[in-house]
Amino acid sequence: MKVTLRIWRQKNTESQGRMVPYEVDGVSDHMSFLEMLDLLNEQLTVAGEEPVAFDSDCREGVCGMCGVVINGVAHGRGQTTYQTTTCQLHMREFSDGDTITVEPWKAEPFPVLKDLVVDRSSFDRIIQAGGYISAPTGTAPDAHAVPVNKVDADHAFDNATCIGCGACVAACPNGSAMLFTSAKVTQLGLLPQGQPERWTRVLGMVAEHDAEGFGNCTNIGECTAVCPKGIPLESISQLNRDLFKAVTTRH
């Protein structure tokens, strides 16, 4: 299979970027999208050109590093594949002769470091603002030592699956990171261990979210549509309820 790639190339944060076309031949249907980019970089290296910089790590849909916008969709979407990570998107979702546009996450809090690589340390600072608990560390207690309502436990686990990839920000017209923030707030706020900091947590993390320059949430829903883990919009509702209570009770 042969495809044409239109890839965003940018030397560094200060430089101007541009779309550059490349033709990649010998693409197998069984390749993942990142393996196809590896093939392109092999061709560029042999030709003495600068390879395309992109993030990846586990290549198993777990770490959240492989974030790019493919044909206008965060992480990309094939004919049969949706809500996936870029590394789990395979070239069988495309056809011979296709032109594929590849861009980095585009949001002010995610400055482009090089080509398709962006700085997502703003997410780390949101976590540092409250995404922790004060439970003593040490030997893990038995799983049944602290009773947790099953509904709450299931919802907490669903939110804990967030891998912090940033697709929600890239897809949101407002550049909001509320789906990410709400997942990190909710996964702890629903559990007994997360209660001591529940109200200061939501105040601190939302304040840091806004300070980083992320936009406001207007419930458009693009975020959950592209989230690889399917974090639901109701997580944002849970965050808003906690935020309202924290503000009105002056925590």
Q: Please give the model's pTM, rounded to 2 decimal places.
A: 0.93
Same domain, 96 and 31: yes
3-state secondary structure of 195: coil
Neighbours of 143 (CB within 10 A): 7
Residue whose tokens read 């697709």 = 167
18 SS3 class = strand
State the alpha helices, DSSP H only, in 10-58: 33-46
152 and 232 fall within a common domain: yes
Domain that holds residue 151: 121-248
The pLDDT of residue 141 is 72
The pLDDT tens digits for 77-109 are 877 667 899 999 999 999 999 999 999 999 999
Pick the last residue of a domain from 50, 68, 103: 103
Residues above pLDDT 90, as percent of the chain: 88
Q: Verify that 22 and 91 share a domain, yes or no.
A: yes
Beta carbons within 8 Å of 248's beta carbon, 6+ residues apart: none
Q: What is the CATH number of the domain that holds 81?
A: 3.10.20.30
- What is the chain's pLDDT, residue by residue, as a tens digit (251 residues)? 999 999 999 999 999 999 999 999 999 999 999 999 999 999 999 999 999 999 999 999 999 999 999 999 999 987 766 789 999 999 999 999 999 999 999 999 999 999 999 999 999 999 999 999 887 767 777 767 888 899 999 999 999 999 999 999 999 999 999 999 999 999 999 999 899 999 999 999 999 999 999 999 999 999 999 999 999 999 999 999 999 999 998 75
Verify that 126 and 90 share a domain, yes or no: no
- Classified as helix, coil or strand, 24 is strand
Total structural domains in the chain? Answer: 2
Q: Comparing C-alpha atoms, which of 226, 6, 227, 3 is closest to residue 115? A: 6
Pure H helices in 163-231: 167-171, 178-189, 198-211, 222-226
Of 122, 129, 75, 82, residue with least CA distance to 102: 75
